[in-house]
């Protein structure tokens, strides 16, 4: 951690213990001490401060981890949900707390980026940065050139009262196409297709910025390193 102090709940989250919201609860329960005194919400932590959770010292990881993960259909993008059959954290089963940058709905599969670097997540999630995400989409009937051009030009989604950004498409087969988006509205591709009477049968994300799904099997992950990781940070503006 640099000389700039950060809020205690953020510090606890960065240590990989839990989310900031859950950290607030731990602080309110009196389970956290800073330099021997029971901590209060809002206190800031700097170099040299000793933070204990139920008597156990917390420390920031020396290096951040960034994962590429292949999410299967049926896995829910949430950390905790008693109604979810299987959460992404359970499926990933990683030995360090990480958070995802951008969701995939339960019925979709494919590439996700997970990390314990909050700055990277924020940079990737900022819509103004218009980072590319590529998907392979199978629909329930034959594609037409008109339909693909309509998608590319931007689609008004009445239930969201928003028009999608122009995008790129490429036909793969009679009922399958690739699409590159630069935004991430809720169930965006499904809503776009539905506007023109198409139903999505299968949806897979195959690329986020410079990171590709490559040979990852379902539920598998790989740690990003070297030039690939450096390029991701560069594209994120970090």
Provide the pLDDT for residue 97.
Answer: 83
Q: Are 39 and 33 in contact (CB under 8 A)?
A: yes
Q: Which of 165, 155, 159, 139 is CA-nearest to residue 192?
A: 155
Q: Is 159 a catalytic residue?
A: no
Query: Please, where in the chain does CATH 3.30.70.1560 lie?
Result: 132-208
Provide the pLDDT for residue 176.
Answer: 98
Q: 99 burial class (0-12, 13-18, 19+ CB within 10 angstroms)? A: middle
Averaged pLDDT, groups of 10, the chain, 238 residues long: 76 79 90 92 88 88 89 87 79 87 92 90 82 97 97 95 96 97 93 96 97 94 93 89
Q: 145-178: string of b/e by CB count within 10 Å (b at 16+)?
A: eebbeebeeebebeeeeeebeebebeeeeebebe
- Domain 66-127+213-235 matching CATH 3.30.70.580: the answer reads yes
Helix, coil or strand: residue 205 = strand
For 6-57, give the CATH class.
Answer: alpha beta
Angle made by CA atoms 133, 135, 139, in degrees to the nearest 5 = 150
CATH architecture of 132-208: 2-Layer Sandwich (3.30)
Q: Considering the candidates 22, 24, 49, 105, report the single residue annotated as catalytic.
A: 105
Provide the pLDDT for residue 81.
Answer: 64
Q: Which of 71, 110, 101 is CA-nearest to residue 236?
A: 101
CA distances (Å), origin 226, targets 13, 67, 220, 233 = 26, 13, 20, 11
Provide the pLDDT for residue 217.
Answer: 96
CA–CA dist 109, 205 (Å, integer): 7
Provide the pLDDT for residue 78.
Answer: 81
């Amino acid at each position: 951690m640099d000389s700039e102090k950060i809020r205690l709940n953020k510090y606890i989250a960065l240590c990989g213990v839990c989310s900031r919201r859950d950290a607030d609860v731990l602080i309110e329960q009196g389970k956290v001490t800073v330099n021997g005194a029971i901590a209060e919400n809002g206190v800031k932590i700097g170099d040299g401060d000793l933070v204990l959770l139920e008597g156990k010292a917390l420390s920031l990881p020396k290096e951040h981890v960034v994962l590429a993960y292949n999410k299967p259909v049926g896995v829910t993008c949430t950390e905790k949900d008693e109604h979810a059959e299987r959460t992404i954290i359970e499926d990933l089963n990683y030995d360090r707390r990480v958070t995802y940058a951008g969701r995939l709905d339960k019925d979709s599969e494919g590439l996700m980026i997970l990390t314990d670097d909050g700055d990277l997540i924020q940079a990737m999630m900022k819509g103004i940065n218009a980072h590319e995400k590529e998907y392979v989409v199978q629909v329930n009937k034959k594609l037409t050139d008109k339909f693909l051009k309509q998608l590319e030009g931007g689609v008004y989604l009445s239930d969201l009262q928003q028009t999608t950004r122009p995008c790129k498409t490429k036909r793969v087969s009679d009922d399958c196409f690739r699409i590159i988006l630069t935004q991430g509205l809720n169930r965006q591709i499904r809503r776009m297709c539905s506007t023109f009477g198409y139903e999505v049968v299968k949806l897979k994300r195959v690329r986020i910025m410079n990171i590709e799904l490559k040979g990852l099997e379902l539920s598998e992950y790989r740690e990003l390193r070297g030039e690939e990781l450096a390029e991701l940070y560069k594209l994120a503006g970090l």
